[in-house]
Amino acid sequence: MRKKRNRFLLGSTMMTAGLLLLFFGAVETAFQTGDVTVRYDDLVSTFEYETDPYFSSALAKWREQGVRDARTSVYAEGAKPSAVSDGQAIYAGEYAGKPNVLIWKTENTGWVEYQVDVAESALYEIHVSYYPLKEGGHKGPVQWDVTIDGERAFREASSTVLYRTWEDVRPILKNSDGDEIRPRSIDVSDWSIRPLIDSGGAYTQPLQWHFTAGTHTIRLTGYTPVAIERIELAPSQPVPAYGEVAAKHADVPSIDGEALTLQAEDFTYKNDTAIKLFSDKNARTVPRYTGRIIYNTVGGLRWLEQNQEITWSFEVPETGLYKIGFRALQNTIAQKTSFRTIRIDGQVPFREFLAYGFPYSASWRGVILQDDDRNPYLVKLEKGAHTLSMAVTQAPVKSIIVDIEKTIAHLDSIDWDLRTITGTKNTGSLDRKGTLDRNRTWSMDQDFPGLTDRIELAAAVMESLSRRVVEANGNKDSISQGLETSAKDLRSLLEKPEEIPYNIDEISSMREKFATFIDTLSKQSLQLDEVYIIPEKADAPSMEAGFFERIWGSAANFVYSFDPRDSLRNLDDTKLNIWVQRGRDYVDQLQQLADESFTPDTGIEVKVNLLPNPELLLMSNAAGVQPDIALGLTQDLPVNYAIRGTLQDLSKLEGFEELHAKFSPGSWLPLYYDGGYYGVPETQSFQVLFYRKDILERLKVGIPDTWEDVYELLPTLQQNFMNFYVNPNEFTYYFYQNGVEFYEPGGVKLGLDRPEAYKAYKQWTDLFNTYAVEREVPSFYQHFRSGTMPIGISDYNMYVQLLAAAPELNGRWGIALIPGTRQSDGTISRWAGGGQRTGVIFDQSNKKEEAWAFLKWWLSAEVQEQYGSDLEAVNGVAFRWNTSNVEALRNLPWKKEDAEVILKQWMWYKDIPNVPGGYFLEREIHNAWVRTVVRRANYMSSLEQTVRDVNRELLRKQQEFGFIDEQGNRVKELDIPIVDRPWEGIDRYVE
């Protein structure tokens, strides 16, 4: 009984009927459940955002044509390309111990071509002997767009990938409080021979290409520096079923002995710096948590993205058959199964390990890898050293994701046709009734021929998808239930078809909901504490905490929770106290860097604490407890605190002018108050134009340079059922580009009652009223990926999201300067803000000199570059540091062509000054937007009302803080700097 309690009995093939599909995650054109066959090919789309087929579809077509797997290999020497894009940056030479290899060092996107003579018309994998270059700080994998004879065989060929090899630095260091510091990852990549795989993790086997007999040209396009020794067109290696493998091992003697236990956090390699260690407080987790952070597990929320792989090394004392087990936690998404491809010594031993499922469990469980009948899988291991690898795969759910995408496109077409006939605008949640005439009686057969059939098909597809999710998952979850509920809602609409036009928004909401399903299905979280290699006849070790162990552990954790060392109330007067409003990873990295560099150089000890909420600064000030420095504050807070006299005026400190010149004048605007600067720009976001290169090329349209170009582009987009994205909450660039300052001199009145301001405001609101730009977009990122919004203005967060989570778009998107406004002299104004995080020194600090020394050290190019590099090395590209130091940003591993765009846009960086009562501006200008766009009020009267309301608050606040007396007479002038020229200091950093 104890053995049963200690194991989480698990079947590996939850998709028994579709087991063969695990090789390539095939995309079905029809799916049969019970007696019902649903034809997914009958789903319609208003616009084919992708014209290339999926690899699975291309493979199925080749198989139907009788194309077989290759039997021999074809080679091309890396140092002998037939053509290259840049002979200066791509050349033959010696690298890392190998002579005569290709060294590819382009800073921008480049390409290499190889000619191959193929004797056999067949399917080939492409294997590469490669070495990812480590110079230049690149940390991502090598990604290539692969074309054969100028054609892309399938869409996944645009984002093939070869991974780096990473180690976590050991031993794990501790800070002064005894907390472990999450280790850095170091690139230990060496020469490797690996096949090209799909960057999206949709397939458990390498990609294949069909080469006919004859001469062909392979083009590899990318920008990651790499050395190439050889390209091989290789035959595919079939993976046998477990039954075949077990039959071959029938004569292997059974062995007994002690199970080998590996601590999962002590892995040997990983292929992504984003895979991280975690501290767990469970009573059974080893090493035990004792009140201080100890990294005793690996994975969880940092091991859920496509292809992320962990490798452990171990030795077995004798040859024999072994079971494999884990102490695992899979509780990120309720009732959802996560899948892993399992390899022994780099190879998948049998088909059942191609995509092994780990079901949801609310708590830690013991898992023995076994079949549906609860018989453990046995793996033959020879005496000696071996490796065990586990990689995230989406293969079991990829076909479901594809068909959900098709369903969304199908619903889009229904929504579009309904709105086209009824005249209803897609206004989102702001105005659900739109302009629909509710007194009209609709005849579906006459007004919308074939529409009810399309809705019926959508309902049938949703029901089928729901069953397929259950089959893949092993049980119902929120996705299967959501699909089932949506199918019922559609069938409910079909009961009264004449009322369907009145329920358009119900269909729209389904599209938004299904988009979240895709994201959820893609996440494959799994956290591990221990790994077990168990001889065939041996019992598994105890893998779960017993009852009394759990009680004792809970009591101990309760006691540890009262540890005062993390309390913000307990300041150490012997150290410089710094509070940081960022996550724990940022805090730990700063503490480590300060201990390694700042303290040894200056002798000043530093204590960095996490500030969970900026409101604690005000409360702590009232309690007489305040740090010396606060970092990571939003740009409105420094002036807000300065008004109340709690901050040091940094402009009075020695060396400020030198520091001031390193940052753009527009970034200092929100930090200036009454003649002084009360904060420093720490990080800085940016507004740039994101665009899909592939879709704009198909539409034969260019990148808009001005707003007039945007207006000309919009009809083309909308005729093809696409749109341009602008964030309705962003308004600064309309006003600044039209020469409007938000405040008059003195800051007691808005500067928005001028003709130029009305023009700018009308330009903003006309985008939604006249040009039909979407008023409400839940996720521009998702629309950009799907192609429904292939162009739009967004920020740093969008950039990092695309870089980290959209590998399938590799090479297919770019950024450009935001659309500008042409001036009377012919120049184009591109003013835009972006938002900053800032640092401040508190006036009550008795260590102001030390605090100022720290701030100057912290903001230096060298330290910002080191911090950004360390942060990305520890946490992955999703933690790309958007430093406000231009020199540091230039040296971080940005793609050169993207860095050029970002820096050129920074020339025009300009945020809104902060004045007493200025908090009213953003609120009231958005109220004006709602009045004009939603309620269709006159734009001039709406803006006039905002000016009156904000002016009242500005006057009240200036009276409160002594700038104006009760009679309305000015007592002292509030100075507001004017920035009206692009920053020339950036010129030396851009080409």
Which residue type sits at 508?
S
| DSSP annotation string for 664-730 | -HHHHGGGEETTEE--EEEEE---EEEEEHHHHHHHT-----BHHHHHHHHHHHHHTT--EE--TT-
Locate 447 and state its tokens.
Answer: 């007004």
Please answer whether residues 291 and 560 qualify as being in contact, where contact means their C-beta atoms are separated by less than 8 angstroms: yes
Q: Which residues contact 981 (CB under 8 A, 6 or more apart)?
A: none
Nearest to 527 by CA among 774, 304, 240: 304
Determine the Cα–Cα distance for residues 161 and 305; give it in Å rounded to an integer.
14
User: How much is the pLDDT for 567?
Assistant: 62
Task: Using alpha carbons only, give the angle 671, 614, 663 rounded to the nearest 5 degrees.
Answer: 25
Nearest to 640 by CA among 621, 664, 627: 621
**3-state secondary structure at position 991:** coil
User: How much is the pLDDT for 10?
Assistant: 37
Radius of gyration (C-alpha) of the chain in whole angstroms:
31
- Eight-class DSSP state of 440: P
User: How much is the pLDDT for 208?
Assistant: 98
Determine the Cα–Cα distance for residues 645 and 624; give it in Å rounded to an integer.
14
Please answer whether residues 740 and 751 qualify as being in contact, where contact means their C-beta atoms are separated by less than 8 angstroms: yes
User: How much is the pLDDT for 46?
Assistant: 62
Task: Using alpha carbons only, give the angle 623, 628, 633 rounded to the nearest 5 degrees.
Answer: 90
User: How much is the pLDDT for 437?
Assistant: 61
Look at the chain and count its residues.
991
| DSSP annotation string for 147-183 | EETTB-SSGGGGGEEE---EEE-SSPPB-TTSPBPPP
Pairing of strands 110-118, 214-222: antiparallel
Which residue type sits at 914?
N
The H or E element containing residue 39 is: strand 36-39
Instruction: For the chain, report the end-to-end CA distance as a whole number of angstroms.
Output: 72
In tens, the pLDDT along 280-334 reads 999 999 999 888 889 999 999 889 988 999 999 999 999 999 999 999 999 988 8
**3-state secondary structure at position 633:** strand
Residue 158: count of CB within 10 angstroms of its CB: 23
Please state the φ and ψ torsions of residue 513, each to the nearest 5 degrees.
Answer: -65, -40
**Residue ranges in the chain whose pLDDT is less than 70:** 1-36, 46-49, 423-439, 561-569, 991
User: How much is the pLDDT for 2?
Assistant: 36
Which residue type sits at 716?
T
User: How much is the pLDDT for 503?
Assistant: 82
In tens, the pLDDT along 923-963 reads 999 999 999 999 999 999 999 999 999 999 999 999 999 99
User: How much is the pLDDT for 13?
Assistant: 36
Determine the Cα–Cα distance for residues 517 and 401; give it in Å rounded to an integer.
8
**3-state secondary structure at position 838:** strand
